[in-house]
């Protein structure tokens, strides 16, 4: 997947069906706070984005846009489910537990 600088990859509040691996470029994670945009994080080459909502299937917690032209690899949820089904059940439990803890902390 290719993005041009300024393109929106993820919109806050959207449903999550993909996780993205940034192969080239830089992404910005932003939220609107009191009618003002705040940059929460910058994702560099090699980073993942959209993982929290991807794993717990809750709405996206922030908007992500291309700070530069970007190339990304996309993993769809249905493909992730197939891979997870081949793992022991405790693996999914660990992932969900960690995701819930991170989401709770990020909402503070």
pLDDT tens across 4-56, in order? 999 999 999 999 899 999 999 999 999 888 889 899 999 999 999 998 888 88
Interval 79-100: pLDDT, tens: 988 888 888 989 888 888 888 8
Going by DSSP bridges, is the β-strand pair 48-49/27-33 parallel, antiparallel, or unpaired?
unpaired
In the chain, what are the domain boundaries? 2-107
- CATH number attached to the domain at 2-107: 2.60.120.10
If we measure between CA atoms, which residue out of 40, 59, 49, 57 comes closest to residue 9? Answer: 49
Contacts of residue 84, defined as CB under 8 A and 6 or more positions apart, other chains included, come to 91, 92
């Amino acid at each position: 997947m290719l993005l041009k600088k300024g393109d929106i990859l993820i919109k806050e509040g959207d449903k999550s069906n993909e996780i993205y691996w940034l192969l080239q470029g830089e992404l910005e994670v932003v939220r609107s706070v009191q009618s003002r945009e705040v940059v929460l994080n910058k994702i560099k080459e090699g980073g993942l984005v959209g993982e929290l909502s991807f794993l717990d299937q809750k709405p996206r917690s922030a908007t992500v846009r291309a700070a530069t032209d970007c190339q990304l690899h996309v993993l769809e949820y249905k493909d992730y489910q197939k891979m997870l089904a081949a793992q022991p059940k405790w693996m999914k439990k660990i992932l969900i537990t960690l995701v819930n803890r991170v989401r709770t902390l990020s909402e503070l």
